[in-house]
Amino acid sequence: MYEDKFKQSVQSPGALLPEFQEGDARALVAYLNVLQQVVENGSPIERKNWFPDIEPLFKLLSYENVPPYLKGALRNAIATFVHVSPIMKDTIWRYLEQYDLPVVVGPHAGNTGYAMDTQVYDMRFELNEIEARREKYPSTISFINLLNTLIAEERDASDRGRRFIGIFRFVYDHVFGPFPQRAYADPCEKWQLVVACLKHFQMMLSKYDVGEEDIDAVTDQSQITILGQSSPIHHMQLPVIEVMKDFMSGKTLFRNLMGIILQGVNFLITERTNQIYGQLLESAVLLSLEIIILVMEKDSVVSDFWRPLYQPLDVVLSQDHNQIVVLLEYVRYDFQPQIQLCSVKILSILSSRMVGLSQLLLKSNSAIGLIEDYAACLELRSEECQIIEDSSVDPGVLIMQLLIDNINRPAPNITHLLLKFDVDSPVERTLLQPKFHYSCLKVILDILDKLLKPDVNALLHEFGFQLLYELCVDPLTSAPIMDLLSTKKYHFFVKHLNSVGIAPLPKRTCSQALRISSLHQRAWLMKLLAVELHSAEIADPNHREACQNILSELFGQRNTEYGVDHDASFFITQNETGSISKSKVLELLEIIQFESPDITLKCSQFVSNLKYSSMAEDILTSPTTMGKGVYYHSERGDRLIDLVSFRDKLWQKWNLNNSELNSFGSEIELNAIRDAIQQLLRWGWKYNKNLEEQAAQLHMLTSWSQIVEISASQKISSLENRSDILFQLLDASLNFSGSPDCSLRMAQMLTQVGLTCMAKLRDERFALPSDLTSETITCLHIIMTKQLSNGACQSILFKLILAVLRRESSETLRRRQYALLLSYFQYCRHVLDSDVRTTILEFLSVDEQDNGDLDLEKMDKDQAELAHANFTILRKEEQPILNLVIKDATQGSESVKTMSLYVIDALICVDHEKFFLSQLQSRGFLRSCFLNMSNFSYQDGGFSLDSMHRLCTLEAEFSLLLRICHKYGKSGSQILFSMGSLHHIASCKALHLPMKGSFRRHDTRVEKNSADLDKQQMVVAPILRLLFSLTSLVETSELFEVKNKVVREIVEFIKGHQLLFDQVLQEDISDADELTMELVNHVVGILTKVWPYEESDDYGFVQRLFGMMRSLWSRDPDVFTSIGSARSEIQQKADVSISRLCFSLSSYIYFLVTKKSLRLQIFDHASTATQQPTLASLVFFLGSLATVLDRAAEEKYLLLNKIKDINELSRQEVDEIITMYVSHGYASSSENIQKRRYMAMVGMCKIVGHRSRLIMLLLLLAQNLMNIILAHFNDSNSLKALSDAKEELHSLCGRLIPVLERLELVNEDKTGHNLKVFHRLARSLKEMSIQKLAN
């Protein structure tokens, strides 16, 4: 009715608009209020059909004589229809553009924006001329609220708010800008207007991002709009940019907003309690804080490019410190939790940007109040009774995150301040007293002490443990916090093992969130225990007791007042009922032994329509969206799907794909996409939860592995039954890693734990027992007295094989499993300490054998049974295990190839009846190894990483072939030779790698020539070892057989690699290292075995061997560097190498003398220049050997007596022995006398072992030399030649007789060898020499 009247008046020239009756207006307002209630509370489905035509609600909006309060009621009613349906929302936009006042900008706002200045009647006119005079603003308030409602429902953000520029300028310039200067009849309307404006700004910031495209958005000052004036829209910038520029320059919006905030929290509390508009003021403050947060989240993107006109908001705020203080004090406001949240978020952002924030708060005298406010907020949160599902709105979680994030920032930081560390002095010297100072630390400790409401406070408990862990590992806070937690007041480290650690895990079906948090709580708790065990100062009694208690709780021991109760069971404990229960460390592992939730579930399994599921997959996997909003990182660091962003992008993609449809198309299409999106969101939620639970399970296992590895490697020596403990840990780890519930990453960690336990088991075999009550040391202590039973070893191998053959595997996992398998075989291989020779043990163990304490035969029998049992287990699983290992060795990466070859090497070691060898042959594996050698290639001169990996594989292949030779003897060598091994080795290109200089190892402490070193260690040495092993096929019966194929091929190999052999023979052995000496020994050994077949010496090898003999045999006894002095173990080994080299050379001469009729001259003559050694040089060297032999035997005898009397030596004598014979890295002056006696005994046993080998070689060498001289004396032709040089012969015999007399005096007791044959040979040669001298 009124609309028709108004139309007629407008169409009549000069007619005035009729007055709108007050009664009609009030009645219409009442109707509109009822309509609004009906629509708001109606059924979402049914109300779509209630009011198909809402156009009449718009027709009165453009008339000036309609009362503003009626327009307000109309717009409020219209706003309720926005949520009815997207179609209705678009209809409302269309009607607003058609009927409402011209400030509203639709899709073509840019075309109408400049015309706004010429409008006679628009929103600005109504605001400034009509409502301002009445001091009431219902129309403007409703207008902005309606637009806010419409903008909030917009899903298309592609234009970044460009179509709302006109609306924004109206709100910014005409509503919010001058709002403090306006008069208001009703204070409520003032704050309604402010809230509407702030909501508009907040939406502009939250809906639209600032990106790299906005870097150049700063315009010249001449183009900036002057406040109060209007500019053409094409000169305006995006609303989000305008808001950012305003705040970053401290302009109108910033000043008005801060004017609201700076009234302070106390003013807000008073107004909220006493005034009607208090809630509106509260909303205005909340929106203001949210806007500040949004600006600070975005300003870092452009601040560096907009300087100096625009500064980051924290810089603007810091110009007045009061602004920062007031913002942070809103954490005290507890009427509205959202305001507290905003204040905490602001502190979090400011603390990350402002280095001196804590000093600022201290100077402003607000620090104490802020500390107490945060503590009160945290305490109040812990007393809540309702679960907060969204952690981002949980004030307790935000405070915890704030404290955690600031720990590593420069001191003193906000964490130090809020936890009441001493920020006026060095933080690390703080003495924490939370019981006397109310702070977040006191509240957190109380929360963790009581652990109340675990379902409600799960995250508080979790982040509380995490915070304490982060404090314990921080260099500044570590000492104060660990000292606090280790005190008897808290007993923190152990207390929660029962309350948290081994408590039942919540069911996934009941509360998955609580289950996830519970797993993380246990993980952080175990990390705390690991830190205490690893880093605690044991000298401190509190820490020492804490570590003892932790170990006791974990491994089932009870503590007495002064230590550990040794009568307690260590790993399997008895509970009060008498039944057997597992230790806590195993119970903790059992907690995570459940099947990981499935995160591979595809969204197509939730949505039947393939079109919708593929759309979701495109969004989640598209490179353009992977890191931009679809995913986010949770407070725990998990990469989850942002369900809100996911939903918005699904709608956007749907709109884009269906842009040709009218709006959203038909109602059926709309319902279908809605249902699909709901299903996809359910899938996303389930995916997130499953991913979080899987990460929590992995986190707890990681922490469990850390505490186990630290305990096993560092602290287990303080426990009894260590081998049993390590076995149980190893057994449990293998059990779980082989189960189908164990994921791949978990299996990798469990295998690493197994490696640590296996290594420690190997160490434990020879470690001095810690439970000895006396200081007596016997030979039993160097025997492996803590070997696991054969049954336990078999159990380990069986479960390890099952773990290796698990269904889901990877090369990384198998490398660790192979390493564990190799470690196991090494554990089973030796009963005795590898540094102590069996002959020495037999000499020392006579007393123990007489007393029945030691039965070496039984030990040997047990070892044989274990070896056979290992072989039986492997044979049962030979098909799958060989298939896997051979596949890895032939098709895997270079690193896994290397490990697989060493596993095959280990299988050969335990082989019986050539079972595995025949399997390798039948599968063609050995032939493939030879082909790999022949086809070996390298790039970059062998210096690249890939080439080094291939060299490692090649070295492993050579090691395997050498193992076959050693394991099967001549038959193994014959198999390799028959397969053309020499031909393949000769064609290996690795021998042609570039090499400079000598073979001598370079100093690794400075810089080493890696090519030279790696070639000799990884290629040359293995090839020479293998070649030397093949010389065992050379039979003495075939020495003069021209058709000896083995000799021919080895000789051809030598000729083909003359440069290599020449280079080795040219080495100066006087200062050669161990590897170089090995190479020289192998080369000499090979040549002495096969070169006698070669009639000619065109290659000069014979002369070089002769030259080496002359050089070595003409030296004084000091050629053996360690005799008669305390030298290093390396030099002890060098003596053995030199003696072995001399023995090979003497065997070569003996062979030439006896088989080739070589005859040596007595002395050198100038007329006959030859490299051959002389009989005189042999006699001289024999005299040197007598001296060395006597000294070595005497030293060995003295050491054996010292070993027997080790318990009677004083500490000073023991220290002298350690100084002489034990490496400094293994001996500590702080060890007790018992430990030092043990180290001294082992060190002397090592030296005795080296001396025993040296003595044996010296005896054989001396025997060879005597046989050579004897052969000359016995040969008739040689006798005739010698008789012609009578004087030389007499001189030779005169020198020889004293040497032989000294050799006759060599003592069997001191050498440890039967010398009957040796003495008989010396006497025979002496008698013959006397005869020659007499003639």
Q: Of 31-35, 337-341, 664-668, which gets the smallest average pLDDT?
A: 664-668
Handedness of CA 862, 864, 866, 869 (dihedral sign): negative
Q: For residues 1012 and 503, what is the distance between their CA atoms, to the nearest angstrom? A: 59
Residue 946: per-residue pLDDT = 81
**Which residue do the tokens 């936009």 mark?**
93
Per the DSSP assignment, residues forming a β-bridge with 572 are 582
Higher model confidence: residue 112 or residue 658?
A: 658
Residue 377: per-residue pLDDT = 93
Higher model confidence: residue 233 or residue 548?
A: 548
Statement: residue 608 has pLDDT above 50: yes
* Element (DSSP H or E) covering residue 560: strand 559-560
Residue 9: per-residue pLDDT = 55
Q: For residues 1314 and 1335, what is the distance between their CA atoms, to the nearest angstrom? A: 34
Confidence of residue 52 (pLDDT cuts 50, 70, 90): confident
Q: For residues 1064 and 1080, what is the distance between their CA atoms, to the nearest angstrom? A: 6
Average pLDDT over residues 808-833: 86
Amino acid at position 135, single letter: E
Q: For residues 1218 and 1207, what is the distance between their CA atoms, to the nearest angstrom? A: 14
Confidence of residue 574 (pLDDT cuts 50, 70, 90): very low
Higher model confidence: residue 494 or residue 750?
A: 750
Q: What is the DSSP letter of 1156?
A: S
Residue 344: per-residue pLDDT = 95
Confidence of residue 834 (pLDDT cuts 50, 70, 90): low
Structure-token pair, residue 1130: 């390396």
Number of Cβ within a 10 Å radius of residue 1267: 18
Confidence of residue 559 (pLDDT cuts 50, 70, 90): very low
Kindly list the distances between the CA atom of residue 342 and the CA atoms of 265, 286, 346, 464, in Å, as whole numbers in the listed order. Answer: 13, 8, 6, 21
Confidence of residue 595 (pLDDT cuts 50, 70, 90): confident
**Could you report the per-residue pLDDT of 883-906, keeping only the tens digit for each?**
999 999 999 999 999 999 999 999
Q: Of 81-85, 397-401, 1138-1142, which gets the smallest average pLDDT?
A: 81-85
Q: For residues 351 and 411, what is the distance between their CA atoms, to the nearest angstrom? A: 12
User: CB within 8 A of 1169, min separation 6: which ones?
Assistant: none
Higher model confidence: residue 775 or residue 500?
A: 500
Residue 230: per-residue pLDDT = 43
Statement: residue 1121 has pLDDT above 80: no
Confidence of residue 464 (pLDDT cuts 50, 70, 90): very high
Confidence of residue 831 (pLDDT cuts 50, 70, 90): low
Q: Of 608-617, 784-793, 865-874, 1143-1152, which gets the smallest average pLDDT?
A: 608-617
**Could you report the per-residue pLDDT of 1037-1089, keeping only the tens digit for each?**
455 554 578 888 898 999 988 888 888 888 888 778 888 888 999 999 999 88
Residue 778: per-residue pLDDT = 60
Statement: residue 1125 has pLDDT above 60: no
Amino acid at position 268, single letter: L
Amino acid at position 528, single letter: L
Residue 768: per-residue pLDDT = 59
Q: Of 430-439, 550-559, 788-797, 1067-1076, which gets the smallest average pLDDT?
A: 550-559
Contact present, 308 and 344 (Cβ < 8 Å):
no
Contact present, 204 and 243 (Cβ < 8 Å):
yes
Q: What is the DSSP letter of 118?
A: G
Structure-token pair, residue 662: 């009218």
Helix-, strand-, coil-residue percentages of the chain, each rounded to 5: 70, 0, 30
Kindly list the distances between the CA atom of residue 116 and the CA atoms of 64, 98, 493, 951, in Å, as whole numbers in the listed order. Answer: 17, 15, 72, 81
Statement: residue 355 has pLDDT above 70: yes
In the three-class reduction of DSSP (H, G, I as helix; E, B as strand; rest coil), residue 684 is classed as helix
Higher model confidence: residue 65 or residue 1105?
A: 1105
Q: What is the DSSP letter of 500?
A: I
Average pLDDT over residues 1295-1318: 89
Structure-token pair, residue 958: 């050579």
Structure-token pair, residue 798: 């069986």
- Bond from prior residue into 412 cis (ω within 30 degrees of 0): yes
Number of Cβ within a 10 Å radius of residue 669: 13
Amino acid at position 1132, single letter: Q
In the three-class reduction of DSSP (H, G, I as helix; E, B as strand; rest coil), residue 452 is classed as coil
**Could you report the per-residue pLDDT of 1198-1229, keeping only the tens digit for each?**
888 888 888 888 888 888 888 887 776 555 66
Statement: residue 1010 has pLDDT above 80: no
Average pLDDT over residues 1110-1132: 67
**Could you report the per-residue pLDDT of 904-930, keeping only the tens digit for each?**
999 999 998 899 999 999 999 999 999
Distance of CA 304 to the CA centre of its chain: 35
Burial 875-901 (b: 16+ CB within 10 A, else e): bebeeebbebbbebbbebebebbbbbb
In the three-class reduction of DSSP (H, G, I as helix; E, B as strand; rest coil), residue 574 is classed as strand
Residue 707: per-residue pLDDT = 93
Residue 17: per-residue pLDDT = 53
Confidence of residue 444 (pLDDT cuts 50, 70, 90): very high
Residue 777: per-residue pLDDT = 59
**Could you report the per-residue pLDDT of 979-999, keeping only the tens digit for each?**
998 998 888 887 776 554 445
Average pLDDT over residues 1122-1141: 72
Residue 82: per-residue pLDDT = 83
Residue 524: per-residue pLDDT = 95
718-727, 764-773, 784-793, 851-860 — most confident range: 718-727
Average pLDDT over residues 326-353: 93
Confidence of residue 237 (pLDDT cuts 50, 70, 90): confident
* Element (DSSP H or E) covering residue 124: helix 123-125
Confidence of residue 775 (pLDDT cuts 50, 70, 90): low
Kindly list the distances between the CA atom of residue 87 and the CA atoms of 663, 668, 1174, in Å, as whole numbers in the listed order. Answer: 7, 13, 115
Q: For residues 1216 and 1231, what is the distance between their CA atoms, to the nearest angstrom? A: 15
Altogether, the residues listed in the chain come to a count of 1335
State the burial class of residue 539 (Cβ atoms within 10 Å of its Cβ: 0-12, 13-18, 19+). Answer: exposed
Statement: residue 1090 has pLDDT above 60: yes
Residue 573: per-residue pLDDT = 45
> Rounded mean pLDDT of the chain?
81
In the three-class reduction of DSSP (H, G, I as helix; E, B as strand; rest coil), residue 164 is classed as helix
Confidence of residue 323 (pLDDT cuts 50, 70, 90): very high
In the three-class reduction of DSSP (H, G, I as helix; E, B as strand; rest coil), residue 609 is classed as coil
Contact present, 17 and 64 (Cβ < 8 Å):
yes
Average pLDDT over residues 583-601: 84
In degrees and rounded to multiples of 5, residue 660 shows phi and psi of -80, -15
- Bond from prior residue into 308 cis (ω within 30 degrees of 0): yes
Structure-token pair, residue 1331: 């005869």
Q: How many CA atoms lie within 13 A of 1318 on its CB side?
A: 24
Residue 830: per-residue pLDDT = 61
Average pLDDT over residues 105-127: 50
In degrees and rounded to multiples of 5, residue 1315 shows phi and psi of -110, 20
Q: For residues 1243 and 1239, what is the distance between their CA atoms, to the nearest angstrom? A: 6
Amino acid at position 486, single letter: S
Residue 579: per-residue pLDDT = 38
Q: What percent of the chain has pLDDT over 90?
A: 32
Amino acid at position 670, single letter: L
Statement: residue 838 has pLDDT above 70: no
User: CB within 8 A of 1208, min separation 6: which ones?
Assistant: none
Q: For residues 399 and 374, what is the distance between their CA atoms, to the nearest angstrom? A: 8
Residue 1311: per-residue pLDDT = 86
Statement: residue 264 has pLDDT above 80: yes
User: CB within 8 A of 1079, min separation 6: which ones?
Assistant: 999, 1016, 1020, 1021, 1024, 1064, 1067
> Per-residue DSSP letters for 811-860?
HHHHHHHHHHHHHHHHHHH-SB-TTS-HHHHHHHTHHHHHTTS--HHHHH
**Could you report the per-residue pLDDT of 612-621, keeping only the tens digit for each?**
777 777 788 7
Average pLDDT over residues 310-316: 91
Residue 1008: per-residue pLDDT = 41
Amino acid at position 948, single letter: M
Number of Cβ within a 10 Å radius of residue 377: 25
Average pLDDT over residues 1140-1155: 89
**Could you report the per-residue pLDDT of 1153-1189, keeping only the tens digit for each?**
888 888 888 887 765 556 788 888 899 999 988 998 8
Average pLDDT over residues 1103-1109: 88
* 367-382 helix and 321-329 helix, angle to the nearest 10 degrees: 20
Q: For residues 986 and 956, what is the distance between their CA atoms, to the nearest angstrom? A: 17
**Could you report the per-residue pLDDT of 74-109, keeping only the tens digit for each?**
888 888 888 787 778 788 888 887 776 556 443 333
Average pLDDT over residues 656-681: 69
Burial 425-440 (b: 16+ CB within 10 A, else e): eebeebebebeeebbb
Structure-token pair, residue 1306: 């060599």
Residue 101: per-residue pLDDT = 59
Contact present, 1318 and 1186 (Cβ < 8 Å):
no
